A and B are shown apart, each in its own frame.
Chain A
Amino acid sequence: MMKPTICLAGNPNSGKTTIFNALAHSRETIGNWPGTTVEVKESSCRIGGEDFRIVDLPGIYSLTAYSMDERVASEFLLQERPDAVLCVVDSSNLERNLYLTCQLLEMGQRVVICLNKMDLAKRRGFEICSADLSKILGVPVVEAVASQNKGIVELQSILFEAQKQSSKALRIDYGELEPFISQLERKLQEAQIQANFLDRALAVKLLEEGPTSTEFVRKAPRGEEVLQDVAWIKGSVTVNIKAQVLEKRYAFIKGLVAERVTKTLTLEDLITFSDRIDKVLTHRIFGLPIFLSAMYALFWIVFTVGEPFVSIIENVFTFFGSKVAAGIVSFGLPAWLASLVSDGIFSGVGSVVAFLPYIMLLYLGISFLQDTGYLARAAFIMDRFMHALGLHGKSFIPMLLGFGCSIPGIMAARTLGSRKDRVLTIMVLPLMSCAARLPVYTLFAGAFFKENQGLVVFSLYLLGIVMAIVMAKLLRQVLFKGETAPLIMELPPYRLPLLKDVLMHMWVQALMFVKKAGTIIFIFVVLTWFLASLPWGVEYASEASIIGRIGKIVAPVFTPAGYGFWQAGVALFFGVMAKETVVGILGTLYGAQEGALPAVLVQHFTPASAYAFLVMVALYIPCLPTLATIRKEIGTKWAYLAAFYMFALAWIMSVLVFQAANLWASLFPVV
C-alpha cells in the first residue's frame, strides 16, 4: 500500500522548512530569504506508529502561478491528492498568510493549520483566538513556535487524526460571479474533467486564468469546450473577474481576522529593532560598502581558515596512497594495481577531497548570512546595480550561490518571476567561479605565482564576474530585449540564526560534494587511469596511450593559448565532466602525487601559459551536471548555447591573455 502523503504548504518565511525538519527528522536546508526551498522536497516520517511520505512545497504566496515556485506547487496539487495538507502560517503576518490557506480550503484539501511564530505574534501585539478560527474554518488549528520545537508533538497527533477524516471545503461567496462558477462546474462535470480537488475550485481557478489549471483542462479530451465557456464568460461579465475573486477572498479573511484577532499595537509601534538595523545596512550610501566588506570578509575567512585543513587532508591522502600501494606490492599483487590505487584513486580523489574545507566554510558563511536575513537585503542593495546590468535584484542570490556550486544557484533562479530574467541569470551564472575551480587555481597559483597567489586567485574570480556583467549586457541586448521585471521581495526580520540550522545546511552541501567526489570524480579518475594505461604495455600516461591520442587531437586548438600539449588537452576534456578533475587528471597524467605536482607543472607551463590555462578553466564549458541542470530548468537549446558561448569566450580570453603576456615580455624583457 502507498504510504499516506502529508504535504506542507505556506508562505516564504513562515517557518515551513523548520517544521518539515522537526517532523521528518531529515536533513533539510532552512533559509531566511524568500524561496529557499526551490523544488518539492520529500522525506518520510513516522507518526503514531505509521509511516508517512512528507512533501515540502516551495514557499508561495498563492496558488496562482506567478513564479516558478507557485507553478511547482500548483502542479503538485493538480497531480496529487495529499492525505493531509499542513498549512504553515506566520501568525505575526496573519492576513497575508491566510490567503493561501483559503485557497487550499476552497480546494477541499484536508487542511491542518499551524499558527507558527506565535511568540513573535505576541510580541507584535496580536492576540489570536485559534479555537474560534478552527471552528469557523472547520479545520484543526495548532499553535506552534517551530524554532523552539513548541507545538510539534501536538501537531503530529492532530495530523495523524486529520488525514483519516473527511475533508470540509470552504465556500466563499463570489457574489455576481456565482452563476458563472456553477455553470462552469456543471460544464466540467459534463466533460468529465476532474482535478484532484473540488470542481468548484477548478472553475474559480479557470476564471482567474490560473496557467497550470488552464493547461490541465486544455490537455483533457473535451477541454477545449470548457475553455470556450471560460472565454464566453469573460466576454459577458462586466466586472474584472480576477479583481472580484481577490476582493471577495480578502473580504472573507478581513472578516475572519477582525473578530478573532486583537491588535494592540499600531503600525507606528511596529517600527522594530529590525528596521533600525536596516536604517544602517540598507542605507543608500553605506549599504553597498558594508555589503562589499561583508563579502570580502567572508571569502577572506574561508581561505585563511581553510588553508591549514586543506594541507592536512592532502598529506593524509599522499601518506595513505603510498602506504596502500606499498602494501599491495608486498602482498605480491601486480604493480599495475598499486599504480591504479596510488596514482589513480588516491592522488585523483585526494586532490578533490582536499578542498572540502573551503566548500564547508563557504556554505557555513552563506547559510549564516542567509539565516540572519541579510542575504535578502543583499538583493535589495544590489538591485540598483543589477538593474543597470540588465539583471534583477533577485538574480544576485543565485549568483552568490554559484560561488559554491552552479547547480544550487541555477535552481535558486526559480524565484525569479519573469522567464527572461531567469534565463538570463542562468546563462551567465556558471561564469561565477564555483568552488570546484578553486583547486585548479590554487595549484597553479602556488606553482607559478608564489608571491602573488591571493591576487592571482582573486583576479580569476573578478574575471568571471566581469565577464558575467559583459555577457549579461550583451545577451540582454541581443536575446532578451525589454525591461527587467521590477523587484518585489519580502524582507524577513533579522534574527540570530540557530546553530543547528546553519550547521545542517553546511552539512548537506558538504555531503553532496563528497558524494560527487566519491562517485562522478572517482569514476572519471579511474577511467582516466585506464585510458592512460591502455593499450597494455604502453608507458603509463604516455603519448602512445589512448588518452595521449585523444589529447593530441584536442591539443592544437590550444596552441595559440600556449598550452597546446596533450596533457592539458586531456585535463580540459575531462574537466567538462567536473571541473575539479582537472587537478586530479593532471596528477594522474604526470604520475605525480599532489605535493609533487607543482614541480612537474613548472617544466611544462610558463607563467603566461599557466595563467592563460587558468583563464580557460575559469570561463569554459560548465561541467556536465551543470549543463544537465540548465537543460532541465530552461531547455536543451539554452544548455547548448551556454556550452558553446562559454567555450568561445574562454578560448578568446585565454588566447588574448597569453598573446598579450608574450607581447609584454618581448617589449619589456626582464633583465
Chain B
Amino acid sequence: MVLLHKIQVGETVRILKIDAGKTLEGQLQHMGIREGEVLKVIQNTKGPIIVAKEAMRLALGRGMSQKIWVEVLSGVKRDDVKVAKPARERV
C-alpha cells in the first residue's frame, strides 16, 4: 500500500482506500474516484498531481493525493523510462 503522491509518472495504480473526510471522499466518489478504480498518473509535481481515469483527467492537490492509498499495478512503461529515471522519492 502506497500513497498516491509517491507514485511516478506513467504508473498505473488501483485505489485501495481513500482516507479523507466525508465531504472530500463524497466529492471524489461522485466524480468516479472510488476504491477499486484504476488510475494512471500523468503528472506529478511537487504540488498537485494529475491522474487519468479512462478519458477523464483529474487534478488533485498535494494534500488530497496524500490521503489516497493505492497499489501499483504496472511497472513503468518502456517509453517513459527516461522520465521516470530519478526514481528517488520526492516528499
Contact = CB atoms under 8 A, between A and B. Distances in A.
Nearest to A384: B47
B57 A267 contact: no
Interface in B1-54: 12, 20, 22-24, 26-32, 34, 38, 40, 42-48, 50, 52-54
19 contacts: A61-B30, A66-B26, A67-B27, A96-B31, A99-B30, A124-B55, A270-B52, A271-B42, A279-B43, A282-B45, A384-B48, A417-B27, A484-B63, A485-B24, A488-B31, A488-B58, A489-B58, A491-B50, A493-B57
B60 interface: yes
Interface of B: 12, 20, 22-24, 26-32, 34, 38, 40, 42-48, 50, 52-64, 67, 77
Interface in A443-501: 483-493
Find the residue from A93, A380, A387, A417 having the highest chain B CB count within 10 A. A380
B59 A380 contact: yes
Interface in A87-108: 92-93, 95-96, 99
A242 interface: yes
A302 B31 CA distance: 37
Interface in A119-140: 120, 124
A229 interface: no
A64 B62 contact: no
Contact of B12 (A267, A274, A282, A486): A267
Contact of A393 (B34, B61, B67): B61
A370 to B, nearest CB: 16
A271 B11 CA distance: 12
A279 B41 CA distance: 12
Contacts of B20: 486
Contacts of B62: 383-384, 387, 486
Nearest to A63: B30
Given A96-B56, A486-B62, A490-B56, A271 B27 contact: no
Nearest to B45: A284
Q: List 9 A-B pairs, minimum CB-CB distance, nearest first.
A: A384-B47, A487-B61, A284-B45, A486-B61, A486-B64, A96-B32, A62-B30, A486-B63, A491-B57
B55 A275 contact: no
Contacts of A484: 63
A269 B27 CA distance: 27
A4 interface: no
B52 A61 contact: no
B57 to A, nearest CB: 4
A491 B58 contact: yes
Given A267-B38, A278-B42, A384-B47, A490 B32 contact: no
Contact of A417 (B23, B50, B60): B23
A283 B43 CA distance: 8
A599 interface: no
A246 B25 CA distance: 12
Interface residues of A, number: 47
B24 to A, nearest CB: 7
Find the residue from B38, B55, B60, B64 having the highest chain A CB count within 10 A. B55
B32 A488 contact: no
A132 to B, nearest CB: 20
A487 B59 contact: yes
A408 interface: no
Contacts of A270: 52, 54-55
Interface string A588-625: 00000000000000000000000000000000000000
A287 interface: yes
B23 A66 contact: yes
B52 A275 contact: yes
A530 interface: no
Contacts of A93: 54-56
Contacts of A268: 12, 40, 77
Contacts of B77: 268
A484 B47 CA distance: 14
A379 interface: yes
A488 B23 CA distance: 12
B86 to A, nearest CB: 12
Nearest to B28: A488
Interface in A144-203: none
Given A279-B43, A282-B45, A383-B47, A487 B56 contact: no
A638 interface: no
B40 A271 contact: yes
A488 B24 contact: yes
Given A66-B23, A384-B48, A487 B30 contact: no
Contacts of B40: 267-268, 271
Nearest to A487: B61
Contacts of B45: 282-284, 287, 384
A385 to B, nearest CB: 8
Nearest to A282: B43
Contacts of A299: none
Find the residue from B31, B40, B59 having the highest chain A CB count within 10 A. B59
